[in-house]
Amino acid sequence: MAAFKIGKVVLRSLFKKPATLMYPVVPRKWEERTRGHIDININDCIFCGICARKCPTNAITVDRNKKSWTIERMQCIQCTHCVDLCPKHCLSNENTYTTPEVEKVVDLHVAPPEEPKPASDDTNKDSVEKKNA
Amino acid sequence: MGKRTIIPFGPQHPVLPEPVHLDLVIEDETVVEAIPSIGFIHRGLEKLVEKKEYTEMVYVIERICGICSFGHGWGYCLSVEGVMGVEIPERANYLRTIWHELSRMHSHLLWLGLLADGFGFESLFMHCWRIREKVLDIFEKTTGGRVIFSVCKVGGVRKDIDEATLKEISSVVDGMKKELKELADVFLEDYSVKNRLCGVGYLSKEDAAELAAVGPMARASGLKQDMRLLGHGVYDKLGFEPCIETAGDSYARCKVRIREVFQSIDLIIKAIEMIPDGDISVPVKGNVPANECVVRLEQPRGEAFYYAKGADSKFLERMRVRTPTNQNIPAMVKTLQGCDLADVPMLILTIDPCISCTER
């Protein structure tokens, strides 16, 4: 009957499991290519500033003297243009999103002092500071 | 003659997430005139080309619109490639066509859902968006983004799709056909849906041509106008023929879009079968020469027009984007004349308005 065309679809979906995830009980699985956020391995960075100059939204700031790399998370559009251009391949695209914030977040990464050079391969996490702009 | 009243419609209205304002002059329950006004979300993206290098600008241009973002990126790249005289590899052309057709599917499914929502058919709206979700998952897997892809660049594309994923895409979109058929039957045959769509918002072929309607709006009025026939991408190799209806009412516009979703599925499957191996981009270096180029690209909503002018520097001198909604507003105003007040939200929806596109 032309008046109940959707009936079959509705009845079928009534007995099927939901098309949506029961978030946050069931966590979302991110794809490998998901553009979540930009991360940096600050130990490899040479502070050339290409990422800052080529960023379409001017979200990245590089200070060669202070050896710091800063990203404004709210301004970044995750185009990963900087990842493609980085000559030392120290920038990477992570497939997880940063946590939601109510204020504009600026992530500041400062290179560890050059001497003494750490023997182990430290990740950048130790040198990450967060401050609110 | 009844008393004339002016009813403001928008810029905030439940049926439209985007701001467009209409002054509806009504007599009793009938609209006699509609005066549109836009300009609430102008962002000045065209001016930005003077400050952003042509390679960076593509990521900004994509953000003109959240639905046809790939089309905007492609149109921009085509126009800059035209100015610079760059030939892109065949595989990149195929990949661009596949992503663009997937965009069309997701745009039309979104529109079908919104239309169902517009006439108060909530479950149909949910089912349309449930199917659309599969297309978004394909986007996320292949490009990393669900609505903004950032895969198009001047000289080709940034990411390749491997053989296994291409086969998966082919089987997923093929599997969607059956589900879509069921929903298409509801849109095209259901008694209550037909009651809301048939004969509403008639636009004659002559009016469509005179008011320069584009895309599904023009094709539903019988105009054979589709920019995919102009030869960008690989549409000529896929044997593309536009979907045309002649009724000119809301039902015809709905039918054109439903037929286009099925056509997009066929085009994607065919493109995946025919895709050649090879490079996905060519290196593009140097300044943009002092040259100009015009590109007309068929987006889900209709013809988009891109004009790029170089100035022998890394920055373009001028970029002009004219979007399909901009073209369809006069036709929309025409269809609103003489309609019932209750049909206004749905008639505005039938042009598939994208105000962010229009104002850039």
Domain CATH number, residue A55 = 3.30.70.3270
Chain A CB contacts of B158 below 8 Å? 84
Q: What is the mean pLDDT of the segment spanning A57-67?
A: 88
Confidence of residue A2 (pLDDT cuts 50, 70, 90): low
B88 and B114 belong to one structural domain:
yes
B242 phi, psi to nearest 5 deg: -65, 150
Q: What is the mean pLDDT of the segment spanning B209-236?
A: 86
B87 and B15 belong to one structural domain:
no
CB contact under 8 A, A2 and B148: no
Q: What is the mean pLDDT of the segment spanning B328-355?
A: 84
Is B262's pLDDT higher than 90?
yes
Higher-confidence residue: B295 or A118?
B295
Tens of pLDDT, residue by residue over A72-111, are 888 888 888 899 888 888 888 888 888 888 888 888 878 7
Chain B residues interacting with chain A (CB cutoff of 8 angstroms) = 52-53, 55-57, 59-60, 63, 121, 123-124, 127, 130, 133, 140-145, 148, 150, 158-159, 182-183, 185-186, 189-192, 194
pLDDT value, residue A115 = 66
B47 and B35 belong to one structural domain:
no
Residue A11 located in a structural domain: no
Cα gap B334→B79, rounded to integer Å: 33
pLDDT value, residue A116 = 59
Given a contact cutoff of 8 angstroms between Cβ atoms, the answer to whether B211 and B331 are in contact is: yes
Confidence of residue B258 (pLDDT cuts 50, 70, 90): very high
CA-based nearest distance B315→chain A, Å: 13
Nearest Cβ partner of B145 from A6, A35, A56?
Answer: A35
**What is the chain B residue with the closest CA to A77?**
B59
B27 and B113 belong to one structural domain:
no
Residue B159 located in a structural domain: yes
Is B92's pLDDT higher than 80?
yes
Residue B359 located in a structural domain: no
Question: What is the distance of C-alpha B215 from the center of its chain?
Answer: 8
Nearest Cβ partner of B56 from A5, A19, A81?
Answer: A81
Residue A123 located in a structural domain: yes
Cα gap A108→A133, rounded to integer Å: 11
Residue A10 located in a structural domain: no
Chain A CB contacts of B145 below 8 Å? 34-35, 78
Confidence of residue A3 (pLDDT cuts 50, 70, 90): low
Chain B CB contacts of A79 below 8 Å? 59, 150
pLDDT value, residue A123 = 47
Nearest Cβ partner of B141 from A8, A31, A80?
Answer: A31
Chain B CB contacts of A56 below 8 Å? 52, 56-57, 59-60
CA-based nearest distance B112→chain A, Å: 14
CB contact under 8 A, A77 and B148: yes
Chains A and B: how many Cβ contacts under 8 Å?
68
B100 and B238 belong to one structural domain:
yes
Question: Which residues fall within 8 angstroms of residue B249, CB to CB, at 6 or more apart?
Answer: B197, B198, B199, B200, B201, B202, B203, B220
**What is the chain B residue with the closest CA to A51?**
B56
B197 and B297 belong to one structural domain:
yes
Higher-confidence residue: B12 or B88?
B88
Residue B319 located in a structural domain: yes
Tens of pLDDT, residue by residue over B14-51, are 777 778 888 888 888 888 888 888 888 888 888 888 88
CA-based nearest distance A13→chain B, Å: 9
Residue A36 located in a structural domain: yes
Question: What is the distance of C-alpha B177 from the center of its chain?
Answer: 21
Domain count, chain A: 1
B77 and B117 belong to one structural domain:
yes
B32 and B152 belong to one structural domain:
no
Nearest Cβ partner of B144 from A5, A35, A54?
Answer: A35
Chain A CB contacts of B136 below 8 Å? none
Amino acid residing at B92: A
B162 and B20 belong to one structural domain:
no
Is B272's pLDDT higher than 80?
yes
Residue B358 located in a structural domain: no
CA-based nearest distance B3→chain A, Å: 38
CB contact under 8 A, B140 and A81: no
CA-based nearest distance A57→chain B, Å: 8
Residue B315 located in a structural domain: yes
**What is the chain A residue with the closest CA to B54?**
A56
The domain in which residue A117 lies consists of 30-132
Nearest Cβ partner of A80 from B123, B142, B150?
Answer: B150
pLDDT value, residue A133 = 44
Q: What is the mean pLDDT of the segment spanning B117-139?
A: 88
Mutation target to probe the B interface, by most B beta carbons within 10 A, among A1, A4, A5 is: A5
B165 and B277 belong to one structural domain:
yes
Residue A119 located in a structural domain: yes
Residue A8 located in a structural domain: no
CB contact under 8 A, A5 and B130: no
pLDDT value, residue A126 = 47
The domain in which residue B2 lies consists of 1-42
3-state secondary structure chain B: CCCEEEEEECCCECCECCCCEEEEEEECCEEEEEEEECCCCCCCHHHHCCCCCHHHHHHHHHHHCCCCHHHHHHHHHHHHHHHHCCCCCHHHHHHHHHHHHHHHHHHHHHHHHHHHHHCCCHHHHHHHHHHHHHHHHHHHHHHCCCCCCCCEECCEECCCCCHHHHHHHHHHHHHHHHHHHHHHHHHHHCHHHHHHHCCCCCCCHHHHHHCCCCHHHHHHCCCCCCHHHHCCCCCCCCCCCCCCCCCCCHHHHHHHHHHHHHHHHHHHHHHHHHCCCCCCECCCCCCECCCEEEEEEEECCEEEEEEEEECCECCEEEEEEECHHHHHHHHHHHHHCCCEHHHHHHHHHHCCCCHHHHHC
**What is the chain B residue with the closest CA to A79?**
B150
CB contact under 8 A, A33 and B57: no
Cα gap A51→A84, rounded to integer Å: 9
Given a contact cutoff of 8 angstroms between Cβ atoms, the answer to whether B50 and B309 are in contact is: no
Most confident of A126-130, B132-136, B287-291: B132-136
Q: What distance, in Å, lies between the first and last C-alpha atoms of chain A? A: 62
B239 and B298 belong to one structural domain:
yes
Is A113's pLDDT higher than 80?
no
B83 and B1 belong to one structural domain:
no
**What is the chain B residue with the closest CA to A9?**
B182
Domain count, chain B: 2
% of chain B at pLDDT higher than 90: 13
CA-based nearest distance A3→chain B, Å: 5
**A27: preceding bond cis by omega (within 30 degrees):** no
**What is the rounded average pLDDT for all residues in chain B?**
87
Higher-confidence residue: B132 or B360?
B132
Residue B360 located in a structural domain: no
